[in-house]
Amino acid sequence: MLQASNIRVSYRTGGSSVRALDGVDLNIGGDQVVGIVGESGCGKSTLVKALLRLLPRSATVEFDRLEFNGRDLLCTDERTFRREVLWREIALVPQSAQNSLNPVYRVGDQIVEAIRAHSATSSAKARDRVAELFDVVGLQAELMGRFPHEFSGGMRQRAMIAMALAFEPALIVMDEPTTGLDVLVQERLLRRIREIRARVKSSILLITHDIAVIAEMADRVGVLYAGRMMEDAPMADLFDLPFHPYTLGLRNAFPSIKALERELISIRGSPPNLALPVQGCGFAARCPFVLQACREGRPALLSVGPEHRSACLRHAEADALRQQAAEKQTWRS
Amino acid sequence: MALLEVEGLTRHFAIRRPLLERLLHRGQDSVIKAVECLSFSLEAGEILGIVGESGCGKSTTCNLLAKLDEPCSGHIRFDGRDVGELSGAALRQFRAAVQMIFQDPFDSLNPRFRVFDLVAEAPRALGLMGERELTAAVHATLDLVGLRAADYVERYPHQMSGGERQRVGIASALIVKPRLVIADEPISMLDVSIRASILDLLRDLSQRLQFSCIYISHDLSILANICDRVMVMYLGQQVEIGSPADIVRRPQHPYTRALVAAVPVPDPHYRRPPIRIKGDLARPVDPPPGCRFAPRCLHTVEACRRDVPPARAFGPQHLAACHVAPIEPEEDGRSVECPV
């Protein structure tokens, strides 16, 4: 459905240029939840904004290819994109969606306005539509007349999802949808998103730093690091048989109540400075399995299983690396 | 003897109604019952986690323990002395003995201070040491938290990563040799890949330097990992306390059960147990008598809405405040899925 290849984004800041995304491919099929997981500064949000053309002028965006439902978006001009694609075909639930509502307008009115801005709909029809959407996301219709401050965090998030669903877009992009919500609210929201998907069949691109949320929601997942895709795979494969050392490290670092005795292991160092050219593998400086060759050439994203790709030079030794990666000592020196 | 003993700690905040309503004798003032009758103790070197959702009183508890706020009733005994009665030199000593580590290392460090001054701030303010002694102490403390002093003393916060900043935050708490460290979500702003190193550091140092720690978080999986005991709070009330295994594997209170069941687990094969709870999280404004969880509970009996349930023992260290517990699994089955 969505095919984007070789996405490159750089930001000009002062005299230097920061390469935020460096040759990332993204494919999303119909009726699929694709997760992108990564830490701050890895380019997650840039990826979203590049796809939706929301980047500021200081950013240079290049794609080799960008097609959506058979339509070449590279040849679509700005106006057509905003009129025909954004919201209608691809909708966004922005990061901190909870604060994206205007505090001085009633929540229902804001969604009515969004619908009317993108289609010739009468006010009454738009209002009926909002009532339907509220029902889909599990908000009572009488809440339409309330102001954002009368909503809880989870309710505001659901209102933003209702707005995104207005035109039954083929793809909904959710940027950190549960960050800042309490666990019980988060669990409910995720459950609600799954229910909505069963009804409206939109695909979802889910961006988050929370591996547990991805594990729960996604069919496929991409691991982004320093602006590059390190590994991408069907969800279960990524957990059962990860190939990239960064994925192994992330798995070690993430706590789970189902493994109380497991010791958490962090990854030493910090991500590379993207204002400087990154030679070789972006993870080389922090990787316990680094070879000289890793620093010289950038490892290609290679197929390691069905629909499973990883960008590492040591795939042949993956079994041994997985064993070593489970030892705390490996990540120390 | 326990380092810290808390007994019946209570903090209410009054909200006055608007002037007009008061003049017309309409309506009533409200009370936010942020913390209600909290009792627990903390041994030397122990790490106690406090978990709960927004508004459960975690932060108010922190402030009370650090004597940044005064309780309405109840007692905090630190090292055998009642904290409410401290003054003069004893109070200054207490101020050094209890230190805090804050959530956001990007906000909590003064951007115009160099690392040296950030770490030196507390001993200077408390007049604990001379400048020469201070220099040695700052260097030693930075080494302790894993930062090479020579490389860092001259830096400003913006020249450091989040992890390094949080280490500076820890150093500025530890330099005065505290006996109790209160850490309020110290890793929630940090990247996943380095969180474990900060947790390791805290645990290591608490053992080596023998300080106790109160670790506040909304993330039960982190608490279960670092703490010796975990306390669960709901709308100002202490709901359950026990070892991580007690809380995660044998939760007794229906709220703890729901909380544990809702925790996201990083495993695509994990099947979540049903979450048996109804309604939404309220605020602790004019709460009804009895158990504050009762309106959302599927097991309530009459007593729940009338009397605050006393903490009852379910294991050597395991207490839960519920009239109904233990709830048999089959009885649990009668409850309905909550409406989403």
Q: What is the pLDDT of residues B168-200, one digit of tens each?
A: 999 999 999 999 999 998 998 888 888 999 999
Q: What is the pLDDT of residues A196-225, one digit of tens each?
A: 888 888 999 999 999 999 999 999 999 999
Considering only residues 48 to 67 of chain B, which have any Cβ-Cβ distance to chain A shorter than 8 Å?
Answer: 53-54
Q: Residue B193: its chain A contacts at CB < 8 A?
A: 39, 249-250, 253, 266-267
At residue A320, the pLDDT reads 95
Task: Please state the ipTM of this predicted complex.
Answer: 0.87
Q: Residue B52 has what DSSP assignment?
A: -
Q: Look at A253 and B266 and tell me if their CB atoms are within 8 Å.
A: no
At residue B91, the pLDDT reads 93
Q: Look at A209 and B163 and tell me if their CB atoms are within 8 Å.
A: no
Q: Are B218 and B185 in contact (CB under 8 A)?
A: yes
Contact B337/A at CB under 8 A: no
pLDDT band at A192 (very low <50, low <70, confident <90, very high): confident
Q: Length of chain A in residues, anyone?
A: 333
At residue A333, the pLDDT reads 64
At residue B329, the pLDDT reads 61
SS3 state at B237: strand
SS3 state at A169: coil
Q: State yes or no: pLDDT of A43 exceeds 60.
A: yes
Q: Look at B266 and A40 and tell me if their CB atoms are within 8 Å.
A: no
Q: Report the distance separating Cα A183 and Cα B253, nearest Å.
A: 17
Q: Report the distance separating Cα B312 and Cα B319, nearest Å.
A: 5
Mean pLDDT of A151-166: 88
Q: For an interface test with B, which of A186, A191, A257, A268 has the most B Cβ atoms less than 10 Å from its Cβ?
A: A257
Q: Look at A266 and B260 and tell me if their CB atoms are within 8 Å.
A: no
Q: State yes or no: pLDDT of A117 exceeds 70.
A: yes
Q: Is A142 left (phi over 0), alpha (psi -120 to 50) or beta?
A: alpha
SS3 state at B41: strand
Contact B161/A at CB under 8 A: yes
Give how far A164 is from chain B: nearest CA, Å. 19
At residue B180, the pLDDT reads 97
Q: Look at A183 and B265 and tell me if their CB atoms are within 8 Å.
A: no
Contact B196/A at CB under 8 A: yes
Q: Report the distance separating Cα A265 and Cα A253, nearest Å.
A: 5
Tokens of A16: 């230097």
Contact A252/B at CB under 8 A: yes
Find, in chain B, the residue whose alpha carbon is nearest to that of A331: B197
The amino acid at B15: I
| Predicted TM-score of the model (pTM) | 0.89
Give how far A163 is from chain B: nearest CA, Å. 18
A37 strand-pairing partners: A208, A223
Tokens of B145: 């938290």
Q: Are A333 and A288 in contact (CB under 8 A)?
A: yes
Q: What is the pLDDT of residues A236-262, one digit of tens each?
A: 999 999 999 999 999 999 999 998 888
At residue B49, the pLDDT reads 96
Low-confidence ranges of chain B (pLDDT < 70): 328-340
Q: Closest partner residue to B260 among A182, A215, A257, by Cβ?
A: A257
Find, among A303, A310, A322, A311, the residue nearest to A281 by Cα. Answer: A311
Find, in chain A, the residue whose alpha carbon is nearest to that of B196: A266
Other CB atoms within 10 A of residue A52 CB: 18
Give how far A64 is from chain B: nearest CA, Å. 31
Contact B267/A at CB under 8 A: yes
Considering only residues 173 to 232 of chain A, which have any Cβ-Cβ distance to chain B shorter than 8 Å?
Answer: 182-188, 190-192, 195, 209-213, 215-216
Contact A267/B at CB under 8 A: yes
Contact A274/B at CB under 8 A: no
